[in-house]
Amino acid sequence: MNRKLVLIATFCLAACSDEREPERVLVQTQSGPLAGVVDQDVFAFRGIPYTVAPWTKNRDGKAFGPVCGTTTDCLTLNVWAPPGKTKAQVVVSDRGNASDIEKVAAGHVKRGHVFVSINARALSRDADKQSARNWISANIAEFGGDPRHMTDE
């Protein structure tokens, strides 16, 4: 009898906890489908690879990509966008996954901008940034941004 009570209590703690999976949002990029999260009225897409071949299954955009070293697995970008906005100004930063990037992104989104941070390797920063900008130009409209109105932070 005590065992049943413990199992029921454990199930209730798991089912009744305040920690819920964040709401998801899906966009279709030229690279493939990408699932992001809705975080405090901001659409957030993290760890998007900008130099890999297209993918066919939903790619999870919940987590940041790896910190850049010398390999190409770190060539990712992150996009934050205001829900429902179209043709928004796009602000691009090469600060990657800096510790304050979520706060910076939220400030830009609050002003109605789509904010993109780029991870790039130190030794090929200019080439990596150009590759990222090409991906952004081709895909940013799916996030509500206007590719003709991109500025650097």
**One-letter amino acid for residue 65 of the chain:** G
Q: Tell whether the model's pLDDT for residue 11 goes beyond 80.
A: no
Q: Does 14 fall in a domain?
A: no
**Each residue of 101-112: pLDDT tens digit?**
999 999 999 999
Give which of 75, 50, 74, 79 is closest to 62, Cα–Cα.
79
Any domain includes 33: yes
Domain count for the chain, please give it.
1
Q: What would the mean pLDDT of 64-69 be, rounded to a whole number? A: 90
Average pLDDT value over all residues in the chain: 87
**pLDDT exceeds 90 at position 71:** no
Q: Greater confidence, 122 or 77?
A: 77
55-64, 67-76, 100-109, 117-126: least confidently modelled range: 67-76
pTM for this prediction: 0.85
Query: Across the chain, where does the E strand assignment appear?
Result: 24-29, 32-38, 43-49, 59-60, 76-81, 88-93, 114-118, 145-152
Q: b or e along 91-113 (b: 16 or more beta carbons within 10 Å of the residue's beta carbon)?
A: bbbbebbeeebbebbbebbeeeb
**Is residue 147 domain-resident?**
yes
Residue 103, in any domain of the structure: yes
The reply to whether 140 falls in a domain is: yes
pLDDT value of position 19: 62
Confidence check: pLDDT of 12 > 60:
no
Asked, for residue 129, whether it belongs to a domain, the answer is yes
Q: Which residues constitute the domain of residue 138?
A: 22-152
The domain that holds 45 is classified in CATH as 3.40.50.1820
Residue 17 lies in a domain: no
Residue 141 lies in a domain: yes
Model confidence pLDDT, tens digit, residues 22-39: 799 999 999 999 999 998
